Amino acid sequence: MVKVDVEQLTVRALGPETWDAFAALAERHNGVWGGCWCTYFHTMHEEKTFEADSNRELKHRLVMEGRAHAALVFDGELAVCWLEYGPPVELPNINHRKEYEAGMDRPPDYRLTCFFTDRNYRRQGVSAVALRGALDLIAQAGGGVVEAYPQDTDGKKITASFLYNGTRSLFEHAGFTYLRPKGKNHCVMSKTVTAG
């Protein structure tokens, strides 16, 4: 584990100029969750084949086309975490979709769908840096209603690999409001971000 000074971490947007750093982080972790390459929430059928190499190609294409967004956390020049975000049209695939849509008044402007932190940087507050960074990037893009679907751990310690959506407490600390449960252990939370 690397001892982290979170005050020294910086956040940059995922884009063509940061693709190589993002790809290096994913490659250090076997493409993330068996080769997902953070494509799961983008699509399930039209463009995805469920193979690591094609997932990498898909993610690269989406980034180059401006259809994949994330806040990348850097320790110097090394990307160590990301938080994927985007409008629902960009991230249509969410877990427990029928239940979610049954309780939805209107779709949010943005979804926060997936965190990933380098194994050497976990449990040191790096996800909170990514969350602040994503909200700042959303504010710069005009703001709006932002939804997240974190795990409601109820105070229990959970293996980090299961916390890809973050925790309810992380989002509460960032000013999100609990809306309703979703699935067995997750919930819907929301925050309005003003343009900045």
Residue owning tokens 């050497």: 120
Asked if residue 1 is part of any domain, the answer here is: no
Cα–Cα dist 187/137, whole Å? 23
Asked if residue 100 is part of any domain, the answer here is: yes
Of 168, 157, 82, nearest in space to 127 by CA: 82
Asked if residue 59 is part of any domain, the answer here is: yes
Reported as a pLDDT band with limits 50, 70 and 90, residue 61 is: very high
Stated pTM of the model: 0.90
Asked if residue 133 is part of any domain, the answer here is: yes
Total domains in the fold of the chain: 1
CATH number at residue 69: 3.40.630.30
- DSSP states along 3-65: ---GGG-EEEE-STTTHHHHHHHHHHTTTSTTTTTT-TTT-SSSS--S-HHHHHHHHHHHHHT
Q: What are 12's two structure tokens?
A: 């940059």
Reported as a pLDDT band with limits 50, 70 and 90, residue 123 is: confident
**What does the pLDDT look like over 27-47, one tens digit per residue?**
999 888 778 888 888 876 566
CA angle centred on 35, ends 61 and 184, rounded to 5°: 105
Asked if residue 23 is part of any domain, the answer here is: yes
Contact 182, 143 (CB under 8 A): no
**What does the pLDDT look like over 134-152, one tens digit per residue?**
999 999 999 999 999 998 8
pLDDT at residue 162 greater than cutoff 60: no
Asked if residue 181 is part of any domain, the answer here is: yes
Range of the domain at 102: 6-193
Asked if residue 142 is part of any domain, the answer here is: yes
Of 124, 139, 137, nearest in space to 170 by CA: 124
